[in-house]
Structure 1
C-alpha cells in the first residue's frame, strides 16, 4: 500500500489557484483530497466532545483534527501566495472551502452570463473572412461547454446560420430550409464550399 508521502509526491502538481477557473481547480483539488482520504472533513462536522467519552470517541476526534489539518494544508498549498494570505486564518477546511465557494461560484455565475452574452451577441461581418469568424464562434461555443453551459447543437447551428453576414442571405435561406438536420461539422463544410476553399 502506498504511503501518504508516495501519494502526494506522485501527484502531478496542481496549478496554483490565482482567482480564476475556480471550478476546474476545485475539481482537481477535490480529487487530490479524496485520494488522500481527507475530503470528508469539508462536509462532515468535527466530532463533538461528550461527558462520557470512549477511547473511540477521542480517537475519532483526533483523526478528524489531523485530517482537517492535512486538508487545510493541501488547499492552502494549492493557492497563490496572495490567496494563501487571505484564507490562511480559516479555522477549518470546511470554513475555507465554503468561503472559496461563496466568492468564486458567484464570480463563475457572472462569468457564465458574460459567455452566454458573447455567444448571443456575436454577428458575422462581411469585412472579415467568414471561416475565421466561424472558428471564433465555435471557440465561444466550446467555452460555453467547458463551463457546463449545455446548448443543443441543433440550436447552436441554427443560431450560427442566423448570424451569417447580410451578403449570405441566400445561403442562410438554403441552410435554413434543408430537410435534414446538420451538425457543426456539416455546417463548416457548407461554409467552406461557399467561400470556395
Structure 2
C-alpha cells in the first residue's frame, strides 16, 4: 500500500499533518491548504480502496485525515507476528489429509504450511517433515504409509 502511495506522490500526506506555510499571502496560503485537502482526500480514498469490503465498511466512516486512517490501521494491523506464529503452528498440528481429495493437492497445502513455518523462523528437520506427511496420509493410504516407514528404517 505504501508503494502505491509513493508512486502516486501521496506518501507525504500520510507521514505528516498539513504542513505549515511560511508565506504571508492569504491567497497562497488558502491555495496551499486546498491542495493539501485534495491530496489528503485522494490518499484517504486510495487507502480505503485497498481494504477488504468488511474493513472498508468499518473505516469509511472514520473522520479525519489520511494520516489518521493510516495510523489507526498501522496500530491495529501492523503488529508483531506472534499471533500469526501461533496460528501457523495450530494449522500445522491440525492438518489432516482427507479421503476423496487429491493427495498431491493436499501435500501442496502442507508444503505451504511448512513454508509459513520457515518464514516464521521455525524450521523443522527434513526427516520430521517426511514422517509427519506419512502420518497425515488418509486411511486408504495406511498400508503405503507403513511401507514407507519400513523403507525409511532400512535407509537410515
**TM-score range normalised by the length of the shorter chain:** 0.5 to 0.7
Which runs of structure 2 are paired with 1:1-197 in the superposition (5 Å)? 29-48=1-20, 53-54=22-23, 58=29, 61-79=33-51, 82-88=54-60, 89-105=62-78, 110-120=83-93, 122=95, 134-142=107-115, 144=116, 148-150=119-121, 152=123, 155=124, 157-163=126-132, 164-165=134-135, 167=146, 168-173=148-153, 177=156
Distance 2:72 2:16 in 1: 16
Cα pair 1:38 1:71 within 8 Å, conserved:
yes
1:140-175 superposed Cα distances (whole Å, 9 cap, x missing partner): 234x17x953555xx352331241337243334456
- Structure 1: give runs of 5+ residues left out of the alignment: 1-28, 178-197
1:18-49 superposed Cα distances (whole Å, 9 cap, x missing partner): xxxxxxxxxxx323211110022222233247
**TM-score (normalizing by structure 1):** 0.50
Task: Give the superposed CA RMSD.
Answer: 4.0
